[in-house]
Amino acid sequence: MKLAMTHLYSCTTAELFRFFSEPDLITQKYSDIDCDNVRVTALTPDDGGLKLSTKREVESNVPAVLKRLLGARNVAKQAEEWRFDGDHYRCQMTVELVGVPIKITGTQHFAPTDSGCANYVELQLKSALPFIGNKLTRFVCDEIERMANSERDYLQQQQLTRETA
């Protein structure tokens, strides 16, 4: 299953990238959108890029049919590899939901727009489980979209706060 989202911001790509690369801002962002035990587990700058790993607990409203596979809380481990090209930021990522039989991979691309910047997100979700795999994939896809929209709302609010300060 594929999930594509475009989130618009009234800031530069460099300003937006701070919320994806600075440990204190990452931790605050995830904590403010209801994640617990947020940790940046690795942060390694290199020529033209950055490697980053995070770990956090997320709560989900799991439907009854999936309760044997998913708990009400799940640990998400996310690995990102960022590349910089001028004012464009590109990311390859993987997300592991610990103990959940699903594979999540994707990309992000921050690009300038006339009024700020956009974050183009594309994710691929795959489960090899027979019968219930499609329900699991749909549920996880919906939860990722919900969390990504919460993140967008949080970041847009942070930009408004900075603009009026």
Q: Which CATH class is domain 2-164?
A: alpha beta
The β-bridge partners of 80 are 52, 93
* Mean pLDDT score, 79-91: 97
Q: What are the structure tokens assigned to 123, written together?
A: 């994710």
Q: 81 burial class (0-12, 13-18, 19+ CB within 10 angstroms)?
A: middle
The pLDDT assigned to 37 comes to: 96
**pLDDT score of 19 more than 80:** yes
- Going by pLDDT thresholds of 50, 70 and 90, the confidence category of residue 125 is very high
pTM over 0.75? The answer is yes
Q: pLDDT tens digit string along 25-48?
A: 999 999 999 999 999 999 999 888
Which two structure tokens, joined as six digits, stand for 80? Answer: 């990102």
Given a cut of 60, whether residue 164 has pLDDT beyond it is no
- Per the prediction, the chain carries an average pLDDT of 91
Indicate if the pLDDT at residue 95 is higher than 90: yes
